[in-house]
């Protein structure tokens, strides 16, 4: 198991009733999909807030970043960057903004 740091946006932290970063344990090889599975398992209130409950696809206004890299369109089975695996960088879940 690998401990992954996850930084949630304010509205998801409030929903999950957490402060700051959370840590989730992910089976190796650690992937974005594995992190999201662990996040929803540890914080069931987030089910459906980050990913669609039926399809498992990320919500339209949710993005994922790590090590200055946009992982939003990466396949969920792709391995996470080494710095995230080592715990030196968090996986960022970001609420995208829209409007004009």
Higher per-residue confidence, 56 vs 17: 17
Going by their DSSP bridges, the two strands 91-95 and 2-7 should be labelled as parallel
- Short-list 75, 77, 52, CA closest to 62: 52
Instruction: State yes or no: pLDDT of 48 exceeds 70.
Output: yes
53, 64 in Cβ contact below 8 A? no
**What confidence tens digit (pLDDT) does each residue in 60-93 have?**
889 999 999 999 999 999 999 999 999 999 999 9
pLDDT band at 99 (very low <50, low <70, confident <90, very high): low
- Domains located in the chain, CATH noted: 2-95 (3.10.20.30)
What pLDDT does residue 100 have?
Answer: 58
pTM recorded for the entire structure:
0.91
């Amino acid at each position: 198991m690998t401990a992954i740091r996850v930084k949630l946006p304010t509205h998801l932290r409030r929903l999950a009733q957490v402060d700051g970063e959370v840590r989730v344990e992910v089976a190796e090889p650690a992937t974005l999909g594995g992190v999201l599975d662990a996040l929803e398992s540890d914080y069931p209130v987030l089910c459906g807030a980050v990913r669609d409950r039926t399809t498992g696809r990320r919500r339209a206004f949710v993005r994922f970043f790590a090590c200055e890299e946009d992982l939003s369109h990466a396949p969920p089975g792709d391995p996470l960057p080494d710095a995230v695996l080592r715990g030196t960088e968090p996986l960022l879940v970001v609420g995208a903004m829209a409007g004009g």
